[in-house]
Structure 1
C-alpha cells in the first residue's frame, strides 16, 4: 500500500473538507448534488450537519497515513450510498430527463475516485471475499464506473449547450468565439475519453487530459462566480471533487506508458 500523498488524493481530500465546512456553515446539503428525494424529510437539518461532519472527517482522514486505510473503508460505502439513495431515484422517476443522468454521472465519477482509494489504500487487498471491490479487481471496477459515467455528463453538457445556444457560457466567457461549440466540444471530449478507456487507446493520456479539462472548466467557469454565494461555491467544490476523482483514476494507469494501446478496460 503506497501511502505517499499524491496530488490527486490531496485535491480530493481538500474538496471533501471544503464540502464539509460548507455544509456546517449553511446547515444544509449540497444543493442538487445531495438532493433528498423525500420532501420535508424530518430532521433534515440534523442529517445535513451529520453529512457535513462525516465529509469533513473523511477529508482530514485522507491526509494522514495513520487514518488513511480506515478512512477509505468508510469513504467508498458513503459515496456508494450517496449515489444509490440520492441519485438513482431521480433517474428511476424521470429517466427521460438528461439532467438526472448527468447528475448521476457526476456522483458516479466521485464514487469511482473513492473506489480507487478504497482499492489501493483500504489495506484489505484483493481477497476472495472482496476481490471485486479491493485490490486490482477494485481498480478495474472503478475504471468501469468511470467509463459508464463519462458519457452521461458528456451528453448532458451537449444537450444543455444546444438548448442554451451561445448563452451557455458564463458572462465573462462570452468573448469566446462560438460558446456553444466550445461547450459541445467538452461534452464530446468526455465521450471520447470514455471510448479511449473502454478500448485501451492511450488510456493514461485520455484520463489525464479529461482531468485537466475538468479542472480548467472548474477554474474558468465557477471560480469567478464565487462572490454570488452558496450555489457557485458548492458547484466549485463539487467540480473540484469530480476533477480529483478522474485524476485518481488516471493515477491507476501510472505504470502504463502514455501512448500504450490495446489494453481495454476489461483487460487491465
Structure 2
C-alpha cells in the first residue's frame, strides 16, 4: 500500500476540499455537475450542506496517512453514486444531447481516479470481499472507465467548437489564430488518448499528456474568469478534479517505461 503523497492525489484532495468549501459557502450543489432533483428549498439546502461536508472531509482525509485507506474506501462509492444517480439519468432521459454525455464523461473520469485510489488503498480485507473492484481487475476496470469517458468529453468539445465557431474561446483567448481549430484539437487529443490507452500505445505518456493538457485548459480557460463568481469558480474546481482523475490513472502506469507498447500493459 503506497501512502506517499503523490502530486495527483494532492491535486485531487485540494479540489475536493475546494468543492466542499464552495458548497458550504453557497449552500448548494456544484451547478451543472450535481443536478440533484430536490427542489424543496430547506431539504435541498440541508442535503447540499451534507454533501459539501462529506466532500470536505474526503479531501482532508486524502492528505493524512492514517485516514487515507478509509477515505479511499468512502470516496469510491461516493463517486459511483454521484455518477449513477446524477449523471446516468440525464443520459437516459435525453441521449441525443451531447452535453449530457460530456457531463457523464467528466464525472466518469473523476470516478476513474477515485477508483484507482481505492484499488491502491483497499487492503487485503476488501480484496477478498470486493475482488471485482480491487486488484488487477479493479485497476483494469478503472482504466476502462477512463477509456470510455475520454471520447465523450472529446466529442462534446468538438461539437461545441463547431456550434460556436471562433467564439468558442473565452474573450482573453481570442487573440489565438483559428480559435475553433484549437478547441477541436483539444477534443481530438482526448479521443487520441483514448485510442492510445485502448491499444497500449505509449499509455503512460498519453495519459500524462492528457492530464497536462486538461490542467493547462483549466488554468487558461477558467482561471482568468474567477472574478465573475460562482459559476467560473465551480467550473475551475471541477476541471481540476477531472485533471486529477486522469493524472491518477496515469500514475497507475508509472511502473512501465514512457514509450512502452502492447496490450499486455493493461495487466501491469
Normalised TM-score (structure 2): 0.97
- State the match for 1:115 in structure 2: 115
- State the match for 2:195 in structure 1: 195
Name the CA shift for 1:182/1:2 in 2 (closer, same or farther; >3 Å).
same
- State the match for 2:178 in structure 1: 178
1:3-18 aligned within 5 A: 3-18=3-18
- State the match for 1:75 in structure 2: 75
The structure with the greater share of residues assigned to helix is 2
Q: Is the contact between residue 126 and residue 135 of structure 1 (CA under 8 Å) also seen in structure 2?
A: no
d(CA) in 2 for partners of 1:195 and 1:98? 20
d(CA) in 1 for partners of 2:211 and 2:194? 12
Q: Is the contact between residue 215 and residue 240 of structure 1 (CA under 8 Å) also seen in structure 2?
A: yes
**CA RMSD, 1 decimal:** 1.4
Q: Report deviation, 1:55.
A: 0.2
Q: 3-state DSSP class of the match of 2:177? A: coil
Q: Is the contact between residue 38 and residue 44 of structure 2 (CA under 8 Å) also seen in structure 1?
A: no
Aligned length: 268
1:1-268 aligned within 5 A: 1-40=1-40, 43-124=43-124, 127-263=127-263, 267-268=267-268
Q: 3-state DSSP class of the match of 2:123? A: coil
Q: Report deviation, 1:138.
A: 1.4
d(CA) in 2 for partners of 1:199 and 1:23? 40
Per-residue CA deviations over 1:125-183 (Å, capped at 9, x if unaligned) read 67353122112221111000000000000000000000000000000000000000000
Q: Is the contact between residue 37 and residue 90 of structure 1 (CA under 8 Å) also seen in structure 2?
A: no
d(CA) in 1 for partners of 2:127 and 2:66? 22
Most deviating of 123-132 and 141-150 = 123-132
Q: Report deviation, 1:264.
A: 5.7
Q: Report deviation, 1:38.
A: 4.9
Residue ranges of structure 1 left out of the alignment (5+ in a row): none
Name the CA shift for 1:185/1:264 in 2 (closer, same or farther; >3 Å).
farther
d(CA) in 2 for partners of 1:265 and 1:159? 32
Q: Is the contact between residue 198 and residue 265 of structure 1 (CA under 8 Å) also seen in structure 2?
A: no
Name the CA shift for 1:265/1:198 in 2 (closer, same or farther; >3 Å).
farther
d(CA) in 2 for partners of 1:99 and 1:37? 18
Name the CA shift for 1:230/1:262 in 2 (closer, same or farther; >3 Å).
same
